[in-house]
Amino acid sequence: MIRLGLRMTLNGGREAAVRLAVTAAAVALGVGLLLIALSGMNALNAQNVRTAWLNTGMAHPVPGSGPGASNLGAAPGSSAISDPIWWMFGVDHFAGKTIDRVDVAATGPDSPVPPGISHLPGPGQFYASPALARLLRSTPTDELASRYPRTQVGTIGAAGLPSPDSLIIVVGHTAAELSASPGAGEVTAMNTNTRIDGSNGWDANKLQTILAIGALALLFPVLIFIGTATRLSAARREQRFAAMRLVGATPRQVSIVSAVEASIAALGGVAVGFGVFFVLRPALTAFPFTGQPFAPGDLSLGLADVLLVAFGVPLAAAAAARAALRRVQISPLGVSRRVTPQAPRAYRLVPLVAGIIELAYFVEVGRPKSTGGQIQAYFSGCFLIMSGLVVAGPWLTMVGSRVMARHSGRPAALLAGRRLSDNPRAAFRSISGLIIALFATSVSVGVITTILDYNGSSSGGTAAEATLVDQFYGGMAAPGQPVAPTPRVSDALLVELRSIRNVEGVTVIYSDPGASQADNGGPSPVLVSCDQLERTPAIGRCAPGAEVVTVAGSFDGGSTGKQTLAATIWPAADISTSSLQSVRVEGIVVGTNGSRPAIERARTVLEVSLPDQGPPETLGELDGANTRSIAELQQMTNVVILVSLVIAGCSLAVSVTAGVNDRKRPFSLLRLTGVPLGVLRSVVVLEAAVPLLVISVLSVGMGFLAAGLFLNSQLGETLRPPGPDYYFIVAAGLVASLAIISSTLPLIERITGPEVARNE
Give the pLDDT mean for 368-379: 71
Q: Predicted confidence band at 31 (pLDDT cuts at 50, 70, 90)?
A: confident
> In angstroms, what is the C-alpha Rg of the chain?
32
pLDDT at residue 682, rounded to an integer: 83
Question: Which residues neighbour 205 within 8 Å (Cβ) at sequence distance 6 or greater?
Answer: 195, 371, 374
pLDDT at residue 124, rounded to an integer: 92
CA–centroid distance for 117 within its chain: 32
pLDDT at residue 146, rounded to an integer: 94
Give the pLDDT mean for 246-273: 77
Can you tell me whether residue 103 is helix, strand or coil? strand
CA–centroid distance for 428 within its chain: 28
- DSSP per position, 587-626: EEEEEE-S-HHHHHHHHHHHHHHSTTS---EEHHHHS-TT
299 has pLDDT over 50: yes
Q: In 588-744, which residue ranges form alpha helices assigned H by DSSP?
A: 596-609, 619-622, 627-662, 664-672, 677-714, 724-743
Highest-pLDDT range among 8-12, 132-136, 327-331, 425-429: 132-136
How many CA atoms, within 13 angstroms, populate the side-chain half-sphere of residue 747?
17
Give the pLDDT mean for 430-443: 77
Q: Predicted confidence band at 459 (pLDDT cuts at 50, 70, 90)?
A: very low
Task: Quote the CA–CA distance of 223 and 34 in Å, as a whole number.
Answer: 9
Q: Predicted confidence band at 223 (pLDDT cuts at 50, 70, 90)?
A: low
Q: Predicted confidence band at 699 (pLDDT cuts at 50, 70, 90)?
A: confident
Give the pLDDT mean for 600-607: 94
Strands of the sheet with 185-187, listed across from one edge: 71-72, 185-187, 85-94, 97-106, 168-172, 125-128, 151-155
476, 486 Cβ separation under 8 angstroms: no
Closest CA to 59 of 185, 202, 149, 223: 185
Give the pLDDT mean for 388-409: 82
pLDDT at residue 455, rounded to an integer: 59
Q: What are the percentages of helix, strand and coil residues in the chain, rounded to 5?
A: 60, 10, 30
Task: Quote the CA–CA distance of 239 and 348 in Å, as a whole number.
Answer: 29
Mean pLDDT of the chain: 77
Cβ-based neighbour number of residue 545 at 10 Å:
7
Closest CA to 614 of 268, 305, 182: 182
Q: What is the DSSP letter of 572?
A: B
How buried is residue 55: exposed, middle or buried, by Cβ count under 10 Å (0-12/13-18/19+)? buried
* Digit-coded pLDDT (tens) for 14-24: 666 777 777 78
pLDDT at residue 598, rounded to an integer: 95
Q: Predicted confidence band at 309 (pLDDT cuts at 50, 70, 90)?
A: confident
pLDDT at residue 60, rounded to an integer: 41
Longest CA–CA span in the chain (Å) reads 107
pLDDT at residue 232, rounded to an integer: 58
Q: Predicted confidence band at 63 (pLDDT cuts at 50, 70, 90)?
A: very low
More confident: 368 or 456: 368
HEC string for 231-299: CCCHHHHHHHHHHHHHCCCCHHHHHHHHHHHHHHHHHHHHHHHHHHHHHHHHHHHCCCCCCCCCCCCCC
* Digit-coded pLDDT (tens) for 471-493: 886 544 444 455 555 677 888 99
83 has pLDDT over 90: no
740 has pLDDT over 50: yes
The proportion of the chain whose per-residue pLDDT surpasses 70, expressed as a percent, equals: 71
Question: Which residues neighbour 233 within 8 Å (Cβ) at sequence distance 6 or greater?
Answer: 15, 19, 658, 661, 662
The proportion of the chain whose per-residue pLDDT surpasses 90, expressed as a percent, equals: 22
Q: What is the phi/psi pair of residue 359, to 5°? A: -65, -35
Q: Predicted confidence band at 607 (pLDDT cuts at 50, 70, 90)?
A: very high
pLDDT at residue 71, rounded to an integer: 40
Give the pLDDT mean for 142-161: 94
Q: Predicted confidence band at 26 (pLDDT cuts at 50, 70, 90)?
A: confident
Can you tell me whether residue 431 is helix, strand or coil? coil
Lowest pLDDT segment from 62-66, 91-95, 190-194, 585-589: 62-66
Q: Predicted confidence band at 466 (pLDDT cuts at 50, 70, 90)?
A: confident
Q: Predicted confidence band at 437 (pLDDT cuts at 50, 70, 90)?
A: confident
pLDDT at residue 199, rounded to an integer: 63
562 has pLDDT over 50: no
Question: Which residues neighbour 700 within 8 Å (Cβ) at sequence distance 6 or greater?
Answer: 438, 439, 442, 730
Task: Quote the CA–CA distance of 83 and 113 in Å, as a whole number.
Answer: 11
More confident: 518 or 637: 637
Cβ-based neighbour number of residue 541 at 10 Å:
17
More confident: 140 or 473: 140
CA–centroid distance for 563 within its chain: 28
Question: Which residues neighbour 237 within 8 Å (Cβ) at sequence distance 6 or greater?
Answer: 258, 261, 324
Lowest pLDDT segment from 285-289, 565-569, 639-643, 699-703: 639-643
- What pTM did the predictor assign? 0.71
Question: Which residues neighbour 515 within 8 Å (Cβ) at sequence distance 6 or greater?
Answer: 524, 525, 526, 550
Instruction: Give the CA distances from residue 657 to residues 332, 685, 749, in Å, rounded to whole numbers and listed in that order.
Output: 25, 12, 13
Give the pLDDT mean for 171-175: 94
pLDDT at residue 139, rounded to an integer: 94
More confident: 687 or 396: 396
647 has pLDDT over 60: yes
578, 527 Cβ separation under 8 angstroms: no
Highest-pLDDT range among 56-60, 99-103, 518-522: 99-103
Q: Predicted confidence band at 405 (pLDDT cuts at 50, 70, 90)?
A: confident
Give the pLDDT mean for 416-436: 76
pLDDT at residue 144, rounded to an integer: 94
* Digit-coded pLDDT (tens) for 499-508: 999 999 999 9
Lowest pLDDT segment from 50-64, 367-381, 603-617, 657-671: 50-64
Lowest pLDDT segment from 392-401, 485-494, 638-647, 732-741: 638-647
